[in-house]
Amino acid sequence: MTFRHLLLAATAAVALPGAAMAQSSWLPTAAAQPITGVYLGAGAGWNHYGQNNMTAEGRNAQYFDATRASRQGNLDFNEGGVGVLSLGYGFGNGFRTEIEGSYRYNELDKLGGFPGRNGGVATSNFRNFDGEVQQYGVMANVYYDFQLPQWFPTMPVAVVPYIGGGVGYMWTDIDAKGSRAAANGNTVSINDTAGQFAYQGIAGLAFPITSVPGLSITAEYRYTGALQSKYDGDVRTPTGATVATGKFEVDQAHNHSALIGVRYALYTPAAVAPAPVAPVAPAAAPAPTRTYLVFFDFDRADLTDRARQIIAEAAQNAGRVQTTRIEVAGHADRSGSPQYNQRLSQRRADAVAAELTRQGVSRSNISVQAFGESRPLVATADGVREPQNRRVEIVLR
């Protein structure tokens, strides 16, 4: 079994469970919570490694000069595979960092170039190609997960788009050779490993699985490049005698990769069912106090139509019972800084007080307070968006 067959089998093993889950009712249609804490990731897929231009140096260059050929050649590789393992940490606000290890493999398609010059014999016709390239990388990545709003057009599964980038180090092992059709059939070969600075850009989609909290299926594209390096190589006769040894300077090609993978967050907060937006009021005779809850969209302080209905009901009941004071208290969830959330809860409370005044309640009877994220209705980790905590409480006393 070739590496290509192994790669296809591994990719299918990862992709098929994700496809099955995508058809299942396990997957939610609401927005997923940002990752908080440590997570693990793995992926496998296809890798395209472009053409590598190379230049002969030292005695190798002298050999091509002596045969009146250019010092410029190239290496072309077939489509190959890539595998990735990662350990990361999510900050609960969409940002993630991680350390990644990767492996890429591509087989040699052909070795070419080194054409004749100044009337020399054309030598770009190579034959008997053999070889491969293997790349081992260690990268430090930074990501941002986009939390789609709940009003986003209906989709069959929950989805979290993300982008990222990273820098690190990559070791490239090139083992390639080919025989020149001219020049007595001498074989040009490279067999060496070199390390170089590497960088990459990433874009992907994550599909959370609600039946296994913290688990997601991922699909992503990666662009990975590395700096120029020099590799040992030689020229030999058909009998194996060494004609020249030296260096080949190789312009590293760019990797284009498509991967299917899984990601598992080790510490996932338990899901909390959304609270009804109906006012909390006794069904029997009026009680000494009544409480109404007005909810807000994420990072917003403007009133929805439903919020105005609740405020209108509170204003009407304030005139029917012997209300001596109306308390308006603003709150925010823990996504964002405490200072920002304090100001946001104040804006929400002011908006509700203004609407009560518009509904006929005397402003002198209304007291306004802002508590920021200090009094959550549902306890969450820092940075978590929680709809029940984005509220204003109206209390009739």
pLDDT at 142: 98
Q: Tell me the C-alpha distance between 204 and 217, whole Å.
A: 11
Domain covering 3-265, topology: Porin (2.40.160)
pLDDT at 19: 41
Backbone angles phi, psi at 119, to 5 degrees: 85, 0
Burial of 362 (0-12, 13-18, 19+ CB in 10 A): exposed
The 290-295 sheet, strands edge to edge:
290-295, 391-396, 326-330, 366-370
pLDDT at 149: 67
Q: Tell me the C-alpha distance between 272 and 201, whole Å.
A: 35
Phi-psi region of 70 (alpha: psi -120 to 50; beta: other; left: phi over 0): beta
**Helix H segments across 267-374?**
305-320, 338-358
| Angle at which helices 338-358 and 305-320 cross, to 10° | 60
pLDDT at 21: 40
Which one of 3.40.50.2300, 3.30.1330.60, 3.90.1300.10, 1.10.3720.10 gives the CATH number of domain 290-396?
A: 3.30.1330.60
Q: What is the pLDDT along the chain (397 residues), one digit of tens a residue?
A: 444 444 444 444 344 444 434 443 333 344 567 899 999 999 999 999 988 999 999 999 999 888 888 899 999 999 999 999 999 999 989 999 999 999 999 999 999 888 876 554 444 578 888 999 999 999 999 999 998 765 555 555 689 999 999 999 999 999 999 998 766 789 999 999 999 999 999 999 999 998 898 999 999 999 999 999 999 999 999 989 999 999 999 998 899 999 999 999 998 665 555 566 666 555 545 445 788 999 999 989 999 999 999 999 988 888 777 677 889 999 999 998 999 999 999 999 999 999 999 988 888 889 999 999 999 988 988 888 999 999 999 998 8
pLDDT at 69: 87
Q: What is the pTM of this model?
A: 0.62
What are residue 244's DSSP bridge partners?
235
**Where exactly are the structural domains of the chain?**
3-265, 290-396
pLDDT at 26: 38
Integer angstrom CA distances of residue 298 from 8, 20, 263, 281, 309:
43, 33, 26, 26, 20
177: CB partners within 8 A, 6+ apart:
111, 129, 130, 131, 187, 188, 189, 190, 191
Q: Are 72 and 114 in contact (CB under 8 A)?
A: yes
Measured at the alpha carbon of residue 57, what is the angle toward residues 54 and 61, in degrees to the nearest 5?
100
Measured from the Cβ of residue 167, the count of other Cβ atoms closer than 10 Å reads 12
pLDDT at 289: 73
pLDDT at 210: 83
Q: Tell me the C-alpha distance between 329 and 351, whole Å.
A: 11
Q: What's the one-letter identity of residue 67?
A: T
Q: Are 295 and 80 in contact (CB under 8 A)?
A: no
pLDDT at 25: 37
